[in-house]
């Protein structure tokens, strides 16, 4: 029996050929960065998100740092979830800000007005929320209202959420700006890459300046900002452009597997899927399920892999950021929900092109091991 991998990247043969042809073209032309494919990728992505501006960069991490630099977080406090990837808080620090770690909402694994409220204090400039696993919280409108009421900006780290939505608003369209990652594990990839989206003309313009060494414009060598080389190359843009075209179909594949898991997990006593609101779209970057009792997750993953050939995907997240040594100076005390749920959830394998029989095997193995 073939093992069930935790994840797999899908590039159809015809898409690989399309990409290869265009990489040949840019190699022949010598236009290898900041060219027409980068512009096409930006245009297509902004249309996909329904947000006016999109700025392509070389990672989700740089997208975050650029956005924080353009907004201006230096010396300011920024509320970030403790349950997120290193880069969300890391980018705040790199841009000169001070992260205040918030606990997570157990219903969505994300921020909610209740988790943000205890951190509203003088010096707070804004809030960064993360759509964990591609789930856009149904509390987003409340979070938007809270931010507006308190005069704070709201940024979405939408690294997980390409194509996800709540109500009629897509991920990337809720706040002042949002960032996406195209790292290979994500629902769509450009190998490496990221995107900033914003409806704000000034932030868009500033982001373009920051991504190219703080240069006033591509043709001028006047450096007006402390920028960096955050540019996306043309080969990466070509890969991203094609994967973006495939994104709706890839999300539909993931949703079909998720529906099998939803049904299959119903009788389980010790494992429950994270509920996903029917009012919107979830791209199922991750299929999150919560273990009802404390379990040695490392051992569980080992047994599933070694006895059943089933590899679980990486957690979101294994440990909250306020417990990471590098952020110790920003930690203020326990965040009980994050500490509990980070240790008590698993992520089932889900990817585009996954066979239904593989989902059945995952469920069968979980039934025997977890029940």
Residues forming contacts to ligand PLP in the complex (CB under 6 A) are 59-61, 84-85, 87-88, 130, 157, 159-160, 181, 183, 194
* Tokens (6 digits) for 79: 């509320």
Report in angstroms how near the CB of residue 155 gets to ligand PLP at its nearest: 11
Q: How far apart are CA 118 and CA 165, in angstroms?
A: 27
Report in angstroms how near the CB of residue 109 gets to ligand PLP at its nearest: 11
Task: Kindly list the distances between the CA atom of residue 91 and the CA atoms of 65, 94, 136, 179, in Å, as whole numbers in the listed order.
Answer: 5, 5, 22, 12
Task: Tell me whether residue 4 or residue 132 sits nearer to ligand PLP (CB atom).
Answer: 132
**Strand spans (E) along the chain:** 53-57, 77-81, 98-102, 124-130, 153-157, 165-166, 169-170, 177-181, 194-198, 215-217, 220-223, 271-273, 280-281, 287-291, 345-348
Report in angstroms how near the CB of residue 62 gets to ligand PLP at its nearest: 7
Report in angstroms how near the CB of residue 313 gets to ligand PLP at its nearest: 12
Q: Pairing between strand 77-81 and 124-130?
A: parallel
Angle between helices 234-265 and 13-29 (to 10 degrees): 160
Report in angstroms how near the CB of residue 122 gets to ligand PLP at its nearest: 28
Task: Tell me whether residue 157 or residue 358 sits nearer to ligand PLP (CB atom).
Answer: 157
**Strand spans (E) along 219-301:** 220-223, 271-273, 280-281, 287-291
Report in angstroms how near the CB of residue 8 gets to ligand PLP at its nearest: 17
Residues contacting 248, CB < 8 A, separation 6+: 163
Report in angstroms how near the CB of residue 203 gets to ligand PLP at its nearest: 18
Task: Tell me whether residue 88 or residue 281 sits nearer to ligand PLP (CB atom).
Answer: 88
**Strand spans (E) along 86-210:** 98-102, 124-130, 153-157, 165-166, 169-170, 177-181, 194-198
Task: Tell me whether residue 158 or residue 310 sits nearer to ligand PLP (CB atom).
Answer: 158
Task: Tell me whether residue 57 or residue 365 sits nearer to ligand PLP (CB atom).
Answer: 57
Task: Tell me whether residue 159 or residue 304 sits nearer to ligand PLP (CB atom).
Answer: 159
Neighbours of 103 (CB within 10 A): 24
Report in angstroms how near the CB of residue 7 gets to ligand PLP at its nearest: 13
Task: Tell me whether residue 152 or residue 187 sits nearer to ligand PLP (CB atom).
Answer: 187
Task: Tell me whether residue 271 or residue 346 sits nearer to ligand PLP (CB atom).
Answer: 346
Task: Tell me whether residue 198 or residue 260 sits nearer to ligand PLP (CB atom).
Answer: 198
For 329-336, which contacts have Cβ atoms below 8 Å and span 24 or more sequence positions?
330/89, 330/98, 330/99, 330/100, 330/101, 331/101, 332/100, 332/101, 335/82, 335/101, 335/102, 335/103, 335/104, 336/103
Report in angstroms how near the CB of residue 131 gets to ligand PLP at its nearest: 8
Task: Tell me whether residue 181 or residue 198 sits nearer to ligand PLP (CB atom).
Answer: 181
Report in angstroms how near the CB of residue 190 gets to ligand PLP at its nearest: 9
What is the per-residue burial (b if ≥16 Cβ within 10 Å, else e) of 265-301? beebeebebbebbeebbbbbbbbbbbbeeebebeebb
Asked if residue 167 has a cis previous peptide bond (ω within 30° of 0), the answer is: no
């Amino acid at each position: 029996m073939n093992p069930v991998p935790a994840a797999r990247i899908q590039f159809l043969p015809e898409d690989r050929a399309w990409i290869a042809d265009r990489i040949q073209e840019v190699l022949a032309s010598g236009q290898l960065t900041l060219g027409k494919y980068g512009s096409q990728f930006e245009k297509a992505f902004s249309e996909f998100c329904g947000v006016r501006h999109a700025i392509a960069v070389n990672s989700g991490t740089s997208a975050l740092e650029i956005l924080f630099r353009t907004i201006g977080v230096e010396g300011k406090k920024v509320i970030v979830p403790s349950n997120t990837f290193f880069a969300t808080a890391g980018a705040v620090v790199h841009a000169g800000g001070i992260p205040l770690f918030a606990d997570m909402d157990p219903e969505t694994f994300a921020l909610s007005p209740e988790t943000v409220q205890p951190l509203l204090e003088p010096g707070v400039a804004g809030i960064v929320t993360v759509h964990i696993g591609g789930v856009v919280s149904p509390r987003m409108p409340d979070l938007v209202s809270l931010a507006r009421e308190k005069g704070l900006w709201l940024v979405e780290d939408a690294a997980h959420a390409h194509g996800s939505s709540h109500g009629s608003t897509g991920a990337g369209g809720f706040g002042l700006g949002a960032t996406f990652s195209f790292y290979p594990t994500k629902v769509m990839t450009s190998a490496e890459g990221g995107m900033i989206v914003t409806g704000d003309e000034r932030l868009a313009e500033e982001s373009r300046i920051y991504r190219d060494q703080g240069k006033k414009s591509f043709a001028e060598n006047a450096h007006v900002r402390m920028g960096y080389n955050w540019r996306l190359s043309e080969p990466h843009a070509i890969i991203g452009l094609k994967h973006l075209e495939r994104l709706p179909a890839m999300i539909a594949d993931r949703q079909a597997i998720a529906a099998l898991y939803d049904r299959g997990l119903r009788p389980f006593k010790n494992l429950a899927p994270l509920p996903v609101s029917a009012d919107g779209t979830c791209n199922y970057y991750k299929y999150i399920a919560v273990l009802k009792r404390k379990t040695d997750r490392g051992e569980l993953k080992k047994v599933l892999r070694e006895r059943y050939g089933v590899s679980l995907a990486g957690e979101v997240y294994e440990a909250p950021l306020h417990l990471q040594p590098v952020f110790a100076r920003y930690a203020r005390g326990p965040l009980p929900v994050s500490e509990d749920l980070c240790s008590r959830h698993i992520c089932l394998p889900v990817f585009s092109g996954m066979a239904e029989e593989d989902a059945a095997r995952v469920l069968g193995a979980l039934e025997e091991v977890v029940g």
